[in-house]
Amino acid sequence: MSKEKLKVLLVEDNPTDALIVKKKLQRDRAFDYEVNHVLSGEEAIANLSERSYDITLLDYNLPKKSGLETLRDIKSKDIKMPVVMITGQGDEAVAVQLMKEGAFDYLSKREGYEDSVPLMIRKTIAEYKALFEREQFQKEIALKKDELEKANSRLKELDRMKSDFVANVVHELRTPLAIIKGNLDNIDKGFAGEVQPKQKGILDDVFRVIDRLTRLVNDLLDLSKIESGKIKLNKEGLDIVEIAKEVLRDFEKQAADKDVIIRREIPEVKVMIKADRDKLAQVFVNLIGNALKFTDKGEVVLRITELQEEVQVEIHDTGPGMDKDQTEKIFDKFVRVLAEKKEGTGLGLPIAKDIIRLHNGRIRVESRPGKGSIFIFNIPKDG
């Protein structure tokens, strides 16, 4: 197996010492050495300007241009290669200075030092390669980081443009929807003439569609505000039990129509927290509404538990349940993992999650196929 070729520049003004070092390297089996010997710092710089070397062995005591001056010239010319200084000074302070000036390592020129030269070269080459590879890796990481930051910045800009577009479209939709509903309401009340039973049925269908569109528009508007950071919480001291009861009353008729029982497991006393009343009510509406939507028989249970520093709310349903893959996606925007035949925007749960997050709380779901689902959120008492 052929050995790796290694080009060595030996800068040594003593020909005898240089010959001994050459012989030591010829006997070393680690590399196929190609050694070029020069007698002075001037010759070294001239050689390095014309040829490339893998390593330079530089004597500290040289005539005219010293080893230290030669080292400084190598550094100033930005010649990429490890330099090992061979010094007879035997002074640790000198060694420290050499390292600061750019020497990769140093070797004391004591009796028999030549025996250590091959080992020093092997050590230096291995460390220099590792350092070079690490620097290259760091450069690649820095380059990738810069590319990722630019891509991320572009994505943020596109996301902002998307949010602005959605917000503008939503605002444009709200006014005509309100006008349509107002005019239809006037017709329904008989302001434009008596409404016949068949016409009444058609109007009821149109009202349901308009209400569905209105919910979609409102959900998109809420999502746009949250994503743009424009939503502001109006936190105040409030009783979370009272809010839960108010929302449950609004769902009683819907539950009765589906023959679903709503069961309350809530404290008989007030449970005070600091939160935005309207936003917290929206969380209850979204979660309870979601539970009723997927429960065709059985019950929906609302449980409120007061803990030391927070309140835990659980909404249980006896719906179809979900597998792990579905629960991992349930809070993603525009994802409706079970809603193929159910009306909705797919935004209720993501909006609830964002509102809870804005209150420094957390939300999760526990579910198994055929066993229903439990949506749990925790919200701090102090906001």
Asked if the 5-110 domain carries CATH number 1.10.8.60, the reply is no
With bands split at pLDDT 50, 70 and 90, how would you rate the model's confidence at 238? very high
Assess contact for 103 and 85: CB atoms under 8 A.
yes
The total number of residues shown for the chain amounts to 383
The pLDDT value recorded for residue 25 is 92
- Rounded CA-CA distance 122/171 in Å is 72
Task: Work out whether strand 32-38 and strand 5-11 pair parallel, antiparallel, or are unpaired.
Answer: parallel
Asked if the 156-228 domain carries CATH number 1.20.1530, the reply is no
In order of 21, 261, 282, 300, the CA distances from 305 in angstroms are 82, 21, 19, 16
Assess contact for 329 and 311: CB atoms under 8 A.
no
Residue with tokens 């893998």: 54
Residue with tokens 């996606």: 329
DSSP 197-243: HHHHHHHHHHHHHHHHHHHHHHHHHHHHHHHHT-----EEEEEHHHH
Residue 341 has pLDDT above 60, yes or no: no
Give the residue extent of every domain in the chain: 5-110, 156-228, 235-380
- Rounded CA-CA distance 300/262 in Å is 5
The pLDDT value recorded for residue 194 is 87
Instruction: Read off the pLDDT of each residue in 331-359 and give the average, rounded to a whole number.
Output: 75
Alpha helices in the chain (DSSP H): 15-27, 41-50, 67-76, 92-101, 117-188, 197-228, 240-257, 277-293, 324-329, 348-358
Enter the tokens of residue 6: 């290694």
Residue 80 burial (CB count, 10 A) = 8
Q: How much of the chain exceeds pLDDT 70, in percent?
A: 94
Residue 112 burial (CB count, 10 A) = 7
Instruction: Read off the pLDDT of each residue in 18-47 and give the average, rounded to a whole number.
Output: 92
With bands split at pLDDT 50, 70 and 90, how would you rate the model's confidence at 189? confident
With bands split at pLDDT 50, 70 and 90, how would you rate the model's confidence at 337? low
With bands split at pLDDT 50, 70 and 90, how would you rate the model's confidence at 342? low
Enter the tokens of residue 224: 């746009």
Distance of alpha carbon 319 from its chain centroid, rounded? 34
Backbone angles phi, psi at 22, to 5 degrees: -60, -45
The pLDDT value recorded for residue 343 is 56
What pLDDT, in 10s, does the model give residues 250-282? 899 889 989 999 999 999 999 999 999 989 999
Of 171 and 203, the structure prediction assigns the larger pLDDT to 203
Of 52 and 2, the structure prediction assigns the larger pLDDT to 52
Q: How much of the chain exceeds pLDDT 90, in percent?
A: 51
The pLDDT value recorded for residue 18 is 92
What pLDDT, in 10s, does the model give residues 105-140? 888 888 888 889 999 999 999 999 999 899 899 999
- CA nearest to 57, candidates 104, 24, 115, 16: 104
Residue 172 has pLDDT above 90, yes or no: no
With bands split at pLDDT 50, 70 and 90, how would you rate the model's confidence at 184? confident
- Rounded CA-CA distance 357/379 in Å is 9
Residue 87 has pLDDT above 70, yes or no: yes
The pLDDT value recorded for residue 302 is 96
- Rounded CA-CA distance 378/310 in Å is 7
CATH dotted code for 235-380: 3.30.565.10
Domains 5-110 and 235-380 share a fold: no
- Rounded CA-CA distance 374/351 in Å is 17
The pLDDT value recorded for residue 232 is 81
With bands split at pLDDT 50, 70 and 90, how would you rate the model's confidence at 203? confident
Residue 12 has pLDDT above 90, yes or no: yes
Assess contact for 181 and 204: CB atoms under 8 A.
no
- CA nearest to 342, candidates 289, 294, 282, 285: 294
Single-letter amino acid, residue 334 = F
Assess contact for 374 and 366: CB atoms under 8 A.
yes
